[in-house]
C-alpha cells in the first residue's frame, strides 16, 4: 500500500507556500548601514543548524511542496563548505525542487562560483548598492568593491545568471540608479531596486533614507519606456522591461506597494527558527523539533507555523522604532 501523500503547504489565508529562504549564517564582513550597526554580536557557531540538519529540513520541506530554495545570510559563502550544502540540496532538483538560488555580497564568488554551478545553482542575486568606490565604502563600511566586481566576472564565466540587488537610499545612492541600470544592461545582468525596510536597530536614520520606489518608477518613466513584464522568479520583485536599455528591472516595494496578498515565502534562520513573515516576530523552533523528534516532527511544527502566518507585514517607515528588533542578517535577505 502506498504511503499517504504529504499535505501541501497552505496557510490560513489560502496562500500556497512554495518558496523557502534559508539563512545559513548571520555573519557578514560588510556592515551595510541599512542592515546592521557597525558593532554586531553574531551567533556562536555551535548554535547553528549543521549541514546535515539543514539538508534534512530542505528534503522534508521539498516533500511537502517547497519548489524553490534560496540560500542567504548574512553572507552565505562566509560559512565554510557552503557549496557542499548546496550540492546536497541540489539533489532535489527535478525531484520536486524547481530551483536552488543564492543571495551573496559577491566577495567570495571568485573562489566558489564554479562549485555553485556544479551544485545545481543557475541563478544568483548579488547585493551591490553603488559602483562609486567612495559611496560603496560609506554604505558597506568596506573597501571590497574590487572583490565584488571580480566575483561578478567569475559568476558570469561560470555560467551563472546574475541579478543585482540595489537598496535605494534617499540622498545617498539615488544618483547611482541610472548608472547602475546602464551598467547592468552592458554586463548582461538584471537589476532589482529595493525599498529599505525597518528591521533591527541600526546606526543610520532609516526614515530619512527611505526612498519610495513609486517615486523612482515615475522618474524613470519620464526617461525610459517601462513595459510591464510577466517574468516571475518566485520572489517579491515585480518586473519591467526597460526598452531603451534592453534591461529587466525589478522593483521590490514592501512599503509603498506591498506584495503580501500573494506571499508564498517562509524563512528559516541559521539557528533553526522558522519565521512566517519578515515583518513579524512569530516563529517556531525547527531545530528543537528536529533534534527532539526527528524528521517526522517537522510536519507537525510546519503545520503549526502555517496556521500563524499573518495576512500582511507590519512595516511602517514613519515609526520611531523598527517593526521587529532582529536585523535583516538574522532572517536572511
Report whether 70 belongs to an annotated binding site.
yes
Report whether 170 belongs to an annotated binding site.
no
Report whether 35 belongs to an annotated binding site.
yes
Query: Residue 165: phi, psi to the nearest 5?
Result: -100, 120
Report whether 19 belongs to an annotated binding site.
no
Say if strands 247-252 and 68-72 run parallel, antiparallel, or are unpaired.
Answer: unpaired
Cβ–Cβ < 8 Å for 18, 264: yes
Report whether 260 belongs to an annotated binding site.
yes
Report whether 34 belongs to an annotated binding site.
yes
Report whether 184 belongs to an annotated binding site.
no
Whole-angstrom Cα distance, residue 225 to residue 138?
32
Whole-angstrom Cα distance, residue 142 to residue 133?
10
Report whether 263 belongs to an annotated binding site.
yes
The C-alpha cell 536614520 sits at 205
Report whether 287 belongs to an annotated binding site.
no
Cβ–Cβ < 8 Å for 60, 29: no
- What is each CA distance from 308 to 65, 280, 287, 332, in whole angstroms? 18, 11, 18, 20
Report whether 127 belongs to an annotated binding site.
yes
Cβ–Cβ < 8 Å for 10, 16: yes
Report whether 267 belongs to an annotated binding site.
yes
Whole-angstrom Cα distance, residue 134 to residue 98?
40
Whole-angstrom Cα distance, residue 49 to residue 290?
10
Report whether 265 belongs to an annotated binding site.
yes
Report whether 28 belongs to an annotated binding site.
yes
Report whether 163 belongs to an annotated binding site.
yes
Residue stretches of the annotated binding site for S-adenosyl-L-methionine: 34, 74, 127, 197
Q: Which residues are annotated as a binding site for [4Fe-4S] cluster?
A: 28, 32, 35, 260, 263, 277
Annotated binding site for GTP: 21, 70, 103, 163, 265-267
Binding site, by residue number, is: 21, 28, 32, 34-35, 70, 74, 103, 127, 163, 197, 260, 263, 265-267, 277
Amino acid at each position: 500500500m502506498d504511503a499517504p501523500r504529504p499535505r501541501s503547504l497552505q496557510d490560513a489565508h489560502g496562500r500556497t507556500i512554495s518558496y523557502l529562504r534559508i539563512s545559513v549564517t548571520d555573519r557578514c564582513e560588510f556592515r551595510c548601514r541599512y542592515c546592521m550597526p557597525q558593532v554586531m554580536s553574531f551567533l556562536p557557531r555551535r548554535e547553528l543548524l549543521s549541514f546535515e540538519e539543514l539538508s534534512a529540513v530542505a528534503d522534508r520541506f521539498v516533500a511537502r511542496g517547497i519548489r524553490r530554495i534560496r540560500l542567504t545570510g548574512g553572507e552565505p559563502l562566509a560559512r565554510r563548505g557552503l557549496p557542499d550544502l548546496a550540492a546536497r540540496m541540489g539533489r532535489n532538483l527535478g525531484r520536486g525542487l524547481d530551483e536552488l538560488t543564492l543571495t551573496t555580497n559577491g566577495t567570495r564568488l571568485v573562489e566558489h562560483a564554479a562549485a555553485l554551478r556544479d551544485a545545481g545553482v543557475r541563478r544568483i542575486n548579488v547585493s551591490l548598492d553603488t559602483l562609486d568606490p567612495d559611496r560603496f565604502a560609506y554604505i558597506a563600511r568596506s573597501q571590497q568593491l574590487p572583490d565584488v566586481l571580480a566575483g561578478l566576472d567569475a559568476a558570469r564565466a561560470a555560467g551563472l545568471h546574475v541579478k543585482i540587488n540595489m537598496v535605494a537610499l534617499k540622498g545617498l545612492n539615488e544618483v547611482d540608479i541610472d548608472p547602475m541600470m546602464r551598467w547592468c544592461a552592458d554586463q548582461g545582468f538584471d537589476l532589482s531596486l529595493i525599498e529599505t525596510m525597518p528591521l533591527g536597530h541600526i546606526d543610520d536614520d532609516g526614515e530619512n533614507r527611505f526612498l519610495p520606489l513609486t517615486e523612482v518608477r515615475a522618474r524613470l518613466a519620464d526617461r525610459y519606456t517601462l513595459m510591464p513584464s510577466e517574468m516571475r522568479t518566485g520572489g517579491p520583485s515585480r518586473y519591467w522591461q526597460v526598452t531603451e536599455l534592453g534591461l529587466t528591472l525589478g522593483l521590490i516595494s514592501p512599503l509603498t506597494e506591498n506584495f503580501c496578498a500573494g506571499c508564498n515565502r517562509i524563512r528559516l534562520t541559521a539557528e533553526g527558527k522558522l519565521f512566517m513573515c519578515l515583518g513579524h516576530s512569530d516563529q517556531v523552533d525547527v531545530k528543537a523539533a528536529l533534534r527532539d523528534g526527528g524528521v517526522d516532527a517537522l510536519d507537525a511544527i510546519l503545520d503549526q507555523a502555517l496556521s500563524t502566518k499573518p495576512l500582511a507585514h507590519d512595516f511602517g517607515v514613519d515609526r520611531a522604532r523598527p517593526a521587529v528588533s532582529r536585523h535583516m542578517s538574522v532572517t536572511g535577505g
